[in-house]
């Protein structure tokens, strides 16, 4: 049975329950946080295929970040770089000019089970470098902290300790390809 549910002033069609059975709970299929516009726009393809130069938008709580595709291995493995954004209008307007900047870091993304993940190569040098940032006065403690917080298995940690590298996957966010939009929800 399908039923309508009211959230504030918005009615949403969801998977309903049998009203005669009080043990059943209504299931909601839609996420309600942040901007409703972002929830409707995320995870869409606005292009037939992902190519170098294609725009990409990352949808956050209510903000949006704009990226450009700089390399495509296949339709499930791409490299993106965030655009610089320059205020194009007056204060409190969300009119932005997007500018490509080759100095911005390139991020590798991998599509797994319908979700885009950021790919990182974890190395001993990376742990040492990040450890210096966390504990500038005690690099060994910083290294131990990075090692502990990496989320790797013991076997993977040993591989990195011995000079190897391990790929790490972290959920990137909800994205759409074929459009690059920047939106910032708060301005001083």
Instruction: Report CA torsion sign: 90, 94, 97, 100.
Output: positive
Per-residue pLDDT tens over the stretch 72-95? 999 999 999 999 988 877 777 777
The pLDDT assigned to 103 comes to 94
The pLDDT assigned to 104 comes to 92
Euclidean distance between CA atoms 65 and 180, whole angstroms: 8
* Region 152-174 average pLDDT: 87
Per-residue pLDDT tens over the stretch 98-141? 999 999 999 999 999 888 999 988 888 887 787 777 677 776 77
Most confident of 15-24, 115-124, 149-158: 115-124
Mean pLDDT of the chain: 76
1 has a pLDDT exceeding 70: no
SS (H, E, C) 62-118: CCEEEEEEEEEEECCEEEEEECEEEECCCCCCCCEEEECCCCCCEEEEEEECCEEEE
- The better pLDDT of the pair 35, 49 is held by 49
Euclidean distance between CA atoms 114 and 160, whole angstroms: 29
The pLDDT assigned to 17 comes to 44
Task: Provide the percentage of residues in the chain whose pLDDT is more than 90.
Answer: 23
47 has a pLDDT exceeding 70: yes
Neighbours of 186 (CB within 10 A): 6
């Amino acid at each position: 049975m399908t039923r309508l549910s009211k959230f504030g002033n918005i009615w949403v069609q969801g998977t309903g329950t049998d009203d005669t059975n009080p043990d059943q709970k209504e299931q909601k299929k839609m996420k309600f946080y942040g901007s409703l516009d972002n929830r409707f726009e995320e995870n869409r393809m606005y292009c037939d295929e992902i190519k170098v130069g294609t725009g990409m938008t990352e949808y956050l709580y209510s903000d949006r970040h704009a990226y450009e595709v700089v390399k495509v291995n296949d339709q499930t493995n791409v490299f993106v770089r965030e655009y610089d954004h320059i205020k194009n209008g007056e204060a409190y307007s969300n009119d932005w000019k997007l500018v490509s900047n080759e100095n911005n870091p390139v991020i590798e993304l991998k599509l797994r089970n319908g979700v885009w993940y950021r790919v990182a190569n974890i190395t001993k040098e990376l742990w040492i470098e990040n450890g210096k940032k966390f504990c500038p006065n005690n690099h060994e403690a910083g290294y131990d902290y990075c090692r502990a917080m990496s989320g790797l298995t013991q076997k993977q940690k040993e591989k990195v300790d011995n000079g190897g590298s391990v790929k790490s996957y972290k959920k990137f966010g909800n994205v759409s390809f074929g459009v690059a939009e920047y939106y910032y929800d708060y301005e001083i």
